[in-house]
């Protein structure tokens, strides 16, 4: 009886092994076909992507010429996928720089200088030009700052002389000009309001004095 049971178990085991081998063989064959199809798809994707980029560049260059003739379109310049070289060039001429993207728009950073290269007025004018075109982009998970997110603020990044050694600074600009302006510092993902201001100029004067990017004074 013991020999018969062992024989039966052995046959069952052999059948399972044969089935497993068949499954592996079939799966490998299917996988080979899928890999071949994937390589074809990948080549087609790359080809189509390149085609789109080439033709988008043609459209961009045509629109750039239109802007140079009729005036700059800041909505388009701020778009995350607008022509990189032209957009950055125009933002720098205005007096600010692009920094990452949120809500399909470039984020804006400022660098205020004290002394010979004083650029306070230029930065103020640049932000006043761009603010009407920037979507509210301030987001936070901090319960203490949820009201700021509800009130809709534009977040401007500040490049300062410590290079974010002890945390990075942002200026929060309200879309409702009756609201206050805030200087915020974030350390270890913990945002904190450092100071409030009545208007943009007051905020920039303070930032230039305390959180300047460079100074020869």
* Per-residue pLDDT at 177: 78
Q: Read off the pLDDT of residues 147-171 as tens digits, 9 standing for 90 and up.
A: 777 788 999 999 999 988 889 999 9
Of 112, 105, 109, 159, whose CA–CA distance to 133 is shortest? 105
Give 146 or 40, the one with higher predicted confidence.
40
Q: In what order do the strands lie in the sheet with 97-102?
A: 97-102, 105-110, 153-158, 168-174, 181-187, 190-197
Rounded distance, CA 49 to CA 81, Å? Answer: 14
Q: Rounded to two decimals, what is the model's pTM?
A: 0.77
Mean pLDDT of 174-190: 90
Q: Read off the pLDDT of residues 4-45 as tens digits, 9 standing for 90 and up.
A: 666 666 767 888 888 999 999 999 999 999 999 999 999 999
Residue that the structure tokens 């990017």 belong to: 213
Phi first, then psi, for residue 119 (nearest 5°) are -125, 25
Q: How many CB atoms lie within 10 A of CB 196?
A: 13
């Amino acid at each position: 009886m013991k020999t018969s049971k062992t024989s039966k178990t052995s046959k069952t085991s052999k059948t399972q092994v044969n089935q497993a081998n068949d499954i592996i063989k079939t799966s490998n064959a299917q996988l080979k076909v899928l890999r071949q199809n994937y390589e074809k798809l990948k080549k087609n994707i790359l080809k189509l992507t390149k085609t789109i980029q080439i033709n988008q560049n043609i459209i961009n260059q045509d629109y750039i010429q239109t802007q140079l003739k009729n005036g700059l379109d800041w909505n388009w310049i701020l778009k995350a996928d607008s022509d990189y070289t032209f957009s950055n060039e125009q933002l720098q001429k205005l007096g600010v720089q692009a920094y990452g993207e949120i809500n399909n728009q470039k984020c804006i950073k400022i660098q205020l200088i004290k002394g010979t290269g004083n650029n306070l007025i230029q930065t103020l004018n640049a932000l006043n030009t761009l603010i009407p075109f920037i979507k509210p982009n301030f987001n936070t998970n901090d319960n203490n700052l949820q009201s700021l997110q509800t009130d809709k603020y534009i977040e401007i990044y500040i490049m300062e002389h410590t290079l974010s050694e002890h945390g990075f600074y942002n200026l929060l600009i309200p879309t409702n000009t009756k609201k206050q302006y805030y200087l915020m510092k974030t350390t270890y993902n913990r945002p904190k309001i450092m100071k409030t201001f009545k208007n943009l100029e007051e905020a920039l004067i303070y930032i230039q004095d305390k959180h300047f990017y460079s100074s020869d004074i």
